[in-house]
Amino acid sequence: MNKRKAIYPGSFDPVTNGHIDLIRRARSLFDEIYVVVAQNIEKQPLFGIEERVAMVKRAIRQMKGISIQSFDGLTVSYARKVGAASIIRGLRATSDFDYEFQMALTNRELAKDVDTIFLMPSETHFYLSSKLIKEIAERGGDVSSFVPRFVAEGIRKKFQ
């Protein structure tokens, strides 16, 4: 039997409770999920790539059927490399839709055999973004309800 595989790419800078929720829900739909921590040359990350991979691994260590790796290249290339037919993307609000729709159509043009699946976060995580969490932390706010405890501690150390 062929396994249903999907990739969930993102910068995960830092991994949030919203990301973890999406990984859990995607795992219920697919046999295997590859969480792909992306190197984005347009962003100045708070955490290095190795730190982000380690944080995601720690955050989801109890979940089965999930691999976490970094990747620097086209998302569809990684999907093909691991035999995934789907790319998971989270949609928080209409502001996400334009960019995500454009990216999905571009990926379809690059790889017609790879589809994009949009998942909406649960209501409790709908408003979360890594950018917002970093802004709160930078201004001395408490982010512990938005991220795993060890991530909140890591963020706090970065802004000391």
Q: What would the pLDDT profile of 16-59 be if each residue is shown by its tens digit?
A: 999 999 999 999 999 999 999 998 777 789 999 999 999 999 99
Q: What are the two backbone dihedrals, phi and then psi, of residue 52, each rounded to the nearest 5 degrees? A: -65, -40
pTM over 0.85, yes/no: yes
Q: Is residue 16 part of a domain?
A: yes
83: which 2 tokens? 């035999």
- Give catalytic residue positions: 19, 43, 92, 130
Does the residue 158 lie in any domain? no
Using DSSP's 3-state secondary structure scheme, residue 43 falls into: coil
Which CATH number fits the domain that encloses residue 58? 3.40.50.620
Residue 156 lies in a domain: no
% of the chain at pLDDT higher than 70 = 98
Report the pLDDT averaged over residues 81-94.
Answer: 90
Task: Decide if 131 is inside a domain.
Answer: no
Domain span at 42: 5-126
Predicted confidence band at 1 (pLDDT cuts at 50, 70, 90)?
low
Overall average pLDDT of the 110-135 stretch: 89
Query: What is the mean pLDDT of the segment spanning 86-101?
Result: 85
pLDDT value of residue 99: 85
CA dist., res. 73 & res. 146, Å (int)? 29
What are the residues whose beta carbons fall under 8 Å from the beta carbon of 4, sequence distance 6 or more? 29, 30, 31, 32, 85, 86
Query: In sequence order, which residues have a C-beta less than 8 Å from that of residue 69 and are 6 or more positions away?
Result: 34, 35, 36, 37, 53
Total of domains in the chain: 1
Helix (H, G, I), strand (E, B) or coil at 158: helix
> Domain for residue 22, yes or no?
yes
Maximum Cα–Cα distance across the chain: 51
What strands lie across the sheet with 115-119, from one edge to the other? 66-71, 32-38, 5-10, 86-90, 115-119
